């Protein structure tokens, strides 16, 4: 199992060789993903109360409901989830790769194929309704439509290459964004059908909804957290821990005194440059490759 669960051969090639920066729609057809994670499968998952309560969000064209709305005594309450879904709320089931063996294996295989960690969420939207409003994400999303038709209105990025802790929607949000986007109209509009997958690059603004549909929709989002040169730089710097010079104490006076701190930073920079110049890059490369296929970041 790998990206081939989500994309046809040409889609897998596009991700592995060029990593698209424009949205692309691919005909996925029916894969083992479609045969396994069906709407009925997700219904059973909800009705058995196996969904971890902390990984559920309920949204209807705005902020998420308070978690207590779908819990009884702190645990997932299927009857409450069902009622809220009937009332128009989109149910987001997050981190499915942690609790569903099939998706755990798929997530692991995708990381082994790309070097990128990832996580999986399911979105169940009632007819004539919408969950999340306009926003952008800080990682590539591959959206696999499972049931119904969902409309994706897309706008080009406001900021180039957002990342966690850098230009995430909620960190730089401007209330004028949505009126501006609505006035201009979407740059791309896609009606995503079952058997299709949407490759959505990070930073692209999206406003997905089923407002014009008389049937409910279900899709899976595989959020693929790309590695960046910053990630590699962090690995290079982290290797300095083997050098005792980087483990010694920085005295309080060298932290709190402004001239002393600047001098300490300059000395540390000099030592770091020296460390990097003498680093066994080939040896580190083996460790970094292992980290790329095993290391996971927090999912949200």
| Number of domain units in the chain | 2
Question: Can you spell out the DSSP letters for 166-210?
Answer: BS-GGGS--TTHHHHHHHH--SEEEEE-TTEEEEE-TT-EEEEE-
Range of the domain at 218: 3-226
Same domain assignment for residues 73 and 220: yes
Same domain assignment for residues 75 and 138: yes
Same domain assignment for residues 132 and 46: yes
Residue-wise pLDDT tens digits, 30-89: 999 999 999 999 999 999 998 899 999 999 998 899 999 999 999 999 999 999 999 999
Residue-wise pLDDT tens digits, 98-125: 999 999 999 999 999 999 999 999 999 9
CA separation for the pair 104, 48 (Å, rounded): 19
Tell me the pLDDT band of 296, cut-offs 50, 70 and 90: confident
Of 226, 258, 286, the residue at which a domain comes to its end is 226
Mean pLDDT of all residues belonging to the chain: 95
Same domain assignment for residues 145 and 271: no
The 8-class DSSP code of residue 51 comes to S
Residue 138's alpha-carbon distances to 22, 164, 167, 192, 221, in angstroms, are 15, 6, 8, 21, 13
> Per-residue pLDDT averaged across 221-248, rounded?
95
> Per-residue pLDDT averaged across 121-149, rounded?
96
Tokens in use for 124? 């169940």
The 8-class DSSP code of residue 298 comes to -
Same domain assignment for residues 46 and 97: yes
Same domain assignment for residues 158 and 260: no
**Does residue 299 form part of some domain?**
no
**Does residue 300 form part of some domain?**
no
Same domain assignment for residues 70 and 146: yes
């Amino acid at each position: 199992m790998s990206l081939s669960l989500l994309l046809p051969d040409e889609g897998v090639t596009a991700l592995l060789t060029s990593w698209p920066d424009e949205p692309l729609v691919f005909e996925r057809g029916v894969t083992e993903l479609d045969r396994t994670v069906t709407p009925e499968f997700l219904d059973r998952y909800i009705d058995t109360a196996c969904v971890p309560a902390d990984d559920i969000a309920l949204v209807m064209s705005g902020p998420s409901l308070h978690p207590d709305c779908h819990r009884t005594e702190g645990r997932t309450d299927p009857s409450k989830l069902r009622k809220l879904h009937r009332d128009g709320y989109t149910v987001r089931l997050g981190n499915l790769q942690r609790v569903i063996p099939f998706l755990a294996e798929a997530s692991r295989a995708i990381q082994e194929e790309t070097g990128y960690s990832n996580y999986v969420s399911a979105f169940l939207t009632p007819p004539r309704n919408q969950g999340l409003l306009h926003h952008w994400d800080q990682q590539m999303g591959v959206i696999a439509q499972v049931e119904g038709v969902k409309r994706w209105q897309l706008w080009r990025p406001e900021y180039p290459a957002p990342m966690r802790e850098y230009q995430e929607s909620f960190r730089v949000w401007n209330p004028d964004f949505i009126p501006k986007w609505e006035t201009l109209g979407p740059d791309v509009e896609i009606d995503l059908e079952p058997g299709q997958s949407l490759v959505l690059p990070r930073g692209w603004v999206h406003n997905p909804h089923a407002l014009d549909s008389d049937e409910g929709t279900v899709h899976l989002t595989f959020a693929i957290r790309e590695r960046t040169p910053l990630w590699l730089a962090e690995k290079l710097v982290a290797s300095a821990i083997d050098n005792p010079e980087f483990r010694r104490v920085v005295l309080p006076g060298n932290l709190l005194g402004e001239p002393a701190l600047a001098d300490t930073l300059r000395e540390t920079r000099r030592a770091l440059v020296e460390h990097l110049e003498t680093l066994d890059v080939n040896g580190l490369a083996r460790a970094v490759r292992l980290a790329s296929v095993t290391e996971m970041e927090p999912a949200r």
